[in-house]
């Protein structure tokens, strides 16, 4: 394959055509000398089978922009989620005659549920998927790749786990970079080459570095709490008609009919809206982590190639469920086609993620 790009002789990084030296390791380029013997040194790149790329611009400039945009979007969505939660609390409080109590109730629920999830976090998820500590001998390459990527990301070395599943997937957990865990399936290790594995690990460490793992927990708790609040309200109202009101009879007399109608409406809509928002945050963060991963590896094509292999090879992991599906690099439960960017999807369509990654590498209108 006579590729027009320049593959760095030192580190295997793909550079734009006009480059004088590698932007990653700064090794110089001669006229058309991507040494073939070097390939073995930089890690086997067998069969990634990418079409000959046409580079248009230096990709490095794009990484920070993509990151900033995604972080802004996520912050906005997260604020909206909190807003919905407290609006619901206010209305429910109003329906029972005391707005303050409603807000207090939602705050207390938020803290209790949040605390439980916050302090239990990753160990539950890890045991759910039979994750075992990576073996220093057998998983030497995996540990090396994680170490490489954590250096590139500038985060502490995470704990590394391997899940026995043959499906190809990976996730990161842990609320702070200092206590993060990264888990990959055996299927992923078997199916990906070094370059692709780097991309996946970089993606997971991007989640860790940007505290997505923490956001995931918080967002899940908020959604759960909203659903719980709405449920309590609906049941409470229902019982109230039979003369047994939830939340105390004391304020019942001052209950406002308008609040009750509004409350019922909100209790029905809020959980749905919250879920949609959560999924939307999750989708934005996947794009962000992809962009950040490209920044760490300086090689968007590695992750792009990994994603297409995962999409083709199947991402199922035993123990998967609705509670943890958003943690994985590709949703283990369902895969949406390029056209179906469903509102309730945790991940953007893999096809679109691959397209964006390729665009970062300078593929124009892919």
Residues belonging to the active site: 204
Q: Which is nearer to another protein, 189 or 218 (CB)?
A: 189
> Which of 136, 207, 152 has its CA nearest to residue 175?
207
Among 120, 123, 127, 141, binds another protein (CB under 8 A): 141
Binding mask 21-40 for another protein (x = CB under 8 A): x--xxxxx-xx-xxxxxx-x
Q: Which is nearer to another protein, 109 or 152 (CB)?
A: 152
Among 134, 145, 197, 327, binds another protein (CB under 8 A): 145
Q: Output the CA angle 323-81-106, nearest 5 degrees.
A: 85
Among 6, 15, 16, 42, binds another protein (CB under 8 A): 42
Contact in structure between 365 and 59 (CB atoms under 8 Å): no
Alpha helices for the chain (secondary structure H): 38-41, 62-95, 99-128, 140-153, 186-191, 194-209, 212-241, 257-297, 300-313, 350-360
Q: Which tokens go with 227?
A: 């659903």
Q: Which long-range contacts (CB under 8 A, 24 or more apart) does 332-336 make?
A: 332/167, 332/169, 335/311
Binding mask 292-331 for another protein (x = CB under 8 A): ----x-x---------------------------------
- How many positions of this chain bind another protein (CB under 8 A)? 36
Contacts of 283 (CB under 8 A, 6+ apart): 345, 346, 347, 348
The DSSP secondary structure of 163-175, one letter per residue, reads E--SS--EEEE-S
Q: Name the DSSP class of 21.
A: B
Q: Which stretch binds another protein (CB under 8 A): 17-25, 212-220, 264-272, 280-288?
A: 17-25
Instruction: Identify residues 218-257 at the interface with another protein (CB under 8 A).
Output: none
Closest approach of another protein to the CB of residue 42, in Å: 7
Binding site for another protein (CB under 8 A): 9-11, 20-21, 24-28, 30-31, 33-38, 40-43, 140-141, 144-145, 147-149, 151-154, 194, 296, 298
């Amino acid at each position: 394959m006579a590729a027009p790009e320049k593959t760095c002789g030192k580190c295997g990084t793909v550079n734009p055509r006009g480059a004088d030296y590698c932007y990653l390791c700064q090794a110089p380029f001669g006229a058309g000398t991507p040494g073939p013997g070097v390939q073995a040194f930089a890690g086997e790149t067998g069969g990634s089978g990418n079409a000959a790329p046409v580079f248009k611009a230096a990709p490095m400039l794009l990484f920070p922009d993509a990151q900033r945009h995604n972080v802004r979007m996520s912050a906005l969505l997260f604020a909206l989620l909190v807003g919905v939660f407290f609006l619901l609390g206010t209305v429910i409080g109003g329906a029972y005659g005391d707005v303050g109590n409603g807000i207090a109730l939602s705050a207390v629920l938020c803290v209790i549920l949040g605390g439980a999830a916050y302090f239990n976090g990753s160990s539950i998820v890890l045991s759910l998927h039979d994750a075992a500590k990576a073996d220093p001998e057998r998983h030497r390459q995996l540990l090396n790749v994680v170490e490489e990527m954590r250096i590139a990301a500038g985060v502490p070395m995470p704990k590394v786990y391997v899940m026995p599943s043959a499906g190809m997937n990976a996730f990161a957990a842990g609320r702070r970079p200092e206590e993060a865990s990264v888990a990959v399936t055996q299927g992923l290790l078997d199916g990906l080459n070094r370059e692709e594995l780097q991309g996946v690990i970089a993606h997971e460490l991007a989640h860790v570095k940007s505290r997505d793992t923490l956001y995931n927990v918080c967002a899940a708790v908020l959604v759960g709490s909203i659903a719980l609040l709405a449920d309590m309200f609906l049941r409470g109202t229902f019982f109230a008609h039979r003369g047994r009101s939830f939340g105390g009879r004391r304020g019942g007399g001052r209950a406002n009919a308008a609040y009750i109608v509004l409350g019922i409406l909100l209790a029905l809509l809020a959980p749905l809206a919250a879920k949609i928002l959560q999924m939307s945050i999750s989708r934005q963060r996947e794009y962000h982590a992809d962009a950040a991963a490209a920044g760490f590896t300086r090689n968007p094509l590695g992750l792009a190639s990994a994603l297409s292999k995962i999409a083709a090879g199947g991402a199922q992991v035993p123990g998967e469920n609705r509670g943890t599906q958003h943690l994985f690099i590709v949703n283990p439960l369902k895969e949406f086609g390029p056209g179906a960017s469903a509102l309730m999807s945790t991940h953007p369509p893999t096809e679109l993620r691959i397209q964006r990654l390729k665009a970062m590498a300078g593929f124009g209108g892919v």
